[in-house]
């Protein structure tokens, strides 16, 4: 029946029509599949290009770190040391890139401070013979994730359309996309198949807690070394010698810092210095003219309760005195004279101009204060008597220890008008304030930590005198 039907002229026409319909459907399916393949090829290609850009970016950053690690480990030869690159590989393998950089920096500092070879300190294991020469380029590439393109098989799911789902070869579409995308990438100079690096095995390295725990602050480092020394195996002669050497070096650094702080080099006052000396000048003038003003925790005087005409004059002469000190700082007088501020106090107390004679601050013959300003500042009070130069006794205090200086200050206080109160002696008398400043500078000079500033020394001086 069907045979006769399809064999008839009508049946033949129907079949021919259907065939043409199928042919068009097949052609549409093929074209749509091809379009899908083209889009997938483009997606894969663009993904590969972006992956290469990211690879290059990370490579650039990591190469700088790798080069620095190699240079740090090379000792006197730096990056030219042939063993440095192998040491770098072992250290990176053990500590990761970031950890290797940090430890190599400490090894470098250890070499600079103590002259111990970084590679020797690493106790690098034996190198393995290998056909591929180790280079910084290869080492860097080993730290960067490989270039990759999206999963083609996942992307190709659903790419075949209509009849192509049934007649297309298995994995044909995925294979086509993969091949074409990689060809485009290679044409751009990107070969994602070159991902395996033929590197020699990383050598073993030893991370020494003596170096890994190094502190940047010499005081902290000295304390750390002392603890390690006390707990070290006393039979390990080499280890004990290393620890002793390291402690001696830190002592030397601490002493150098202390001497540098004691000697002020020529240069402008910094903000902290300017505030400190300005506050001292205000304090001396408040005492000189019996003006009361509160102070804050930073030693700054709050003069909002002081009459404006007096407050403005105090600030005026504070500026005049600071200008002279600033000029002296630039010329190097502050470091040369040591405790020059006793002369500032003498100038204020005795209404004498502050001058420089033979490279040192002293008081001149002219007045510091203008007579009309003195009239305002002295209004309503009994002016203080002019005092002689601040001296605890005839003997110079330069060679006295802080303990000896404290004894002399206490003796001076007992013979003063403030014999019953050390605090009043220091706060209300110019002689007492000058003595306090002397003691603070002496305490600062005797400090071995390198961390003592003048403000802290002043507080400690008051504490040791029982005047807090």
* 390, 292: one domain: yes
Query: Is residue 288 situated within a structural domain?
Result: yes
Residues 292 and 236 in one domain: no
Residue 393 has pLDDT above 50, yes or no: no
User: Do 214 and 112 meet the contact criterion of CB atoms below 8 Å apart?
Assistant: no
> For residue 431, what pLDDT is reported?
75
Q: What percent of the chain has pLDDT over 70?
A: 69
114 torsion bin: left (phi>0), alpha (psi -120 to 50), beta (else): alpha
What is the model's pLDDT at position 324?
A: 92
Distance CA 207, CA 73 (A): 13
Same-domain pairing of 182 and 276: no
Classify residue 264 as exposed, middle or buried by CB count within 10 Å of its CB (0-12, 13-18, 19+): middle
Residue with more model confidence, 362 or 35 = 362
- Residue where a domain terminates, one of 245, 262, 279: 262
> Does the residue 291 lie in any domain?
yes
Mean pLDDT of the chain: 76
Q: Are residues 247 and 303 in the same domain?
A: no
The number of CA neighbours under 13 Å toward the Cβ of 238 is 2
Three-state DSSP at 458 gives helix
What are the residues whose beta carbons fall under 8 Å from the beta carbon of 303, sequence distance 6 or more? 282, 293, 311, 314
Both tokens assigned to 220: 């902290």
Q: Contact, 263 vs 335, CB < 8 A?
A: yes
324 within domain boundaries: yes
Are 366 and 416 found together in one domain? yes
Whether 159 and 300 share a structural domain? no
The pLDDT assigned to 155 comes to 60
Judgement on whether residues 294 and 224 belong to the same structural domain of the protein: no
More confident residue, 336 or 269: 269
**Mean of the pLDDT values across residues 256-283?**
79
Query: Is the per-residue pLDDT at 307 higher than 80?
Result: yes
The runs of H, that is alpha helices, within 232-370 are 237-262, 271-288, 308-331, 333-337, 341-349
Please tell me whether residues 452 and 414 are part of one structural domain: yes
Alpha-carbon distance of 52 to 44, in angstroms, equals 12
Six token digits for residue 436: 């306090």
Q: Which of 144-153, 227-236, 393-402 is modeled with the greatest confidence?
A: 227-236
Domain that holds residue 133: 28-187
pLDDT of residue 56: 81
Per-residue pLDDT, averaged over 410-423, amounts to 79
**Least confident segment among 21-25, 108-112, 335-339:** 21-25
As for how many domains the chain has, the answer is 3
Please give the share of the chain, as a percent, with pLDDT higher than 90. 11
Q: How far apart are CA 334 and CA 341, in angstroms?
A: 9
Give domain status of residue 207, yes or no: no
DSSP state for residue 369 in the 8-state scheme: S
In order of 65, 292, 320, 383, 462, the CA distances from 305 in angstroms are 60, 9, 23, 20, 27
Strand 301-302 with 294-295, pairing:
antiparallel
Global pTM exceeds 0.85: no
**In which residue are the tokens 């659903």 written?**
158
The answer to the question of residue 210 being in a domain is: no
Predicted confidence at residue 263, as pLDDT, reads 65
Question: Are 295 and 406 found together in one domain?
Answer: yes
Comparing 261 with 64, the larger pLDDT belongs to 64
Mark whether 139 and 227 lie in a shared domain.
no
Q: Which of 327, 364, 318 is nearest to 343 (CA)?
A: 364
- Name the nearest CA neighbour of 107 among 245, 4, 248, 210: 210
Let me know if residue 205 belongs to a domain. Answer: no
- Which residue among 169, 187, 205 closes a domain? 187
Is residue 208 included in any domain, yes or no? no
Pair 102, 151: CB distance under 8 Å:
no
* Alpha-carbon dihedral sign for residues 26, 27, 30, 31: negative
CA 215 to chain CA centroid, Å, is 13
In this model, does residue 390 exceed pLDDT 50?
no
pLDDT interval class at 144 (50, 70, 90): confident
User: For residue 370, what are its two tokens?
Assistant: 């203008």
Compare 32 and 116 and report the one with higher pLDDT: 116
* Distance separating alpha carbons of residues 442 and 397, to the nearest angstrom: 9
73 compared with 53, residue with greater pLDDT: 73
Within a domain: 276: yes
Domain shared by 219 and 133, yes or no: no
Q: Of 170, 187, 204, which closes a domain?
A: 187
152 and 107 assigned to the same domain: yes
pLDDT of residue 287: 81
């Amino acid at each position: 029946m069907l045979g006769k039907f399809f064999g008839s002229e009508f049946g033949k026409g129907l079949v021919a029509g259907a065939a043409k319909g199928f042919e068009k459907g097949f052609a549409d399916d093929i074209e749509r599949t091809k379009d899908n393949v083209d889009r997938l090829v483009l997606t894969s290609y663009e993904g590969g290009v972006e992956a290469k850009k990211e690879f290059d970016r990370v490579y650039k950053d990591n190469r700088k770190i790798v080069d620095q690690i190699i240079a740090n480990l090379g000792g006197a030869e730096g990056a030219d040391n042939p063993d440095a690159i192998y040491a770098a590989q072992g250290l990176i393998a053990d500590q990761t890139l970031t950890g290797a950089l940090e430890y190599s920096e400490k090894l470098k500092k250890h070499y600079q401070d103590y002259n111990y070879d970084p590679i020797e300190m690493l106790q690098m294991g034996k190198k393995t013979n290998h056909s591929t020469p180790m280079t910084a380029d290869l080492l860097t590439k080993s730290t960067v994730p490989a270039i990759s393109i999206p999963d083609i098989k996942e992307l190709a799911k659903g790419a075949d359309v209509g009849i192509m789902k049934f007649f297309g070869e298995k994995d044909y579409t995925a294979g086509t996309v993969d091949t074409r995308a990689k060809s485009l990438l290679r044409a751009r100079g990107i070969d994602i198949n070159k991902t395996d690096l033929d590197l020699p095995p990383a050598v073993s390295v030893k991370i020494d807690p003596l170096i890994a725990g190094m502190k940047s602050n010499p005081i902290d480092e000295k304390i750390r070394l002392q603890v390690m020394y006390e707990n070290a195996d006393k039979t390990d002669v080499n280890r004990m010698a290393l620890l002793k050497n390291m402690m001696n070096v830190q002592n030397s650094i601490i002493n150098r810092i202390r001497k540098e702080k004691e000697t002020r080099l020529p240069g402008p006052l910094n903000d902290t210095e300017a505030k400190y000396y300005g506050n001292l000048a205000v304090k001396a003038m408040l005492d000189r003219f019996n003006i009361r003003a509160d102070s804050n925790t930073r030693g700054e005087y709050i003069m909002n309760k002081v009459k404006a005409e007096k407050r403005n004059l105090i600030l005026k002469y504070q500026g005049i005195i600071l200008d002279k000190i600033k000029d002296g700082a630039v010329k190097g007088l502050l470091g040369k004279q040591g405790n020059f501020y006793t002369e500032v106090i003498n100038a204020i107390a005795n209404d004498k101009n502050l001058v420089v004679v033979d490279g040192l601050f002293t008081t001149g013959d002219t007045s510091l204060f203008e007579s009309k300003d003195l009239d305002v500042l002295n209004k309503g009070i009994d002016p203080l008597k002019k005092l002689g130069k601040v001296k605890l006794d005839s003997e110079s205090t330069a060679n006295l220890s802080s303990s000896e200086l404290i004894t002399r200050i206490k003796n001076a206080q007992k013979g003063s008008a403030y014999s019953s109160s050390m605090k009043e002696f220091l706060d209300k008398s110019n002689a007492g304030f000058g003595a306090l400043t002397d003691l603070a500078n002496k305490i600062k000079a005797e400090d071995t930590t390198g961390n003592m500033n003048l403000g802290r020394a002043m507080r400690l001086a008051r504490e040791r005198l029982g005047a807090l």
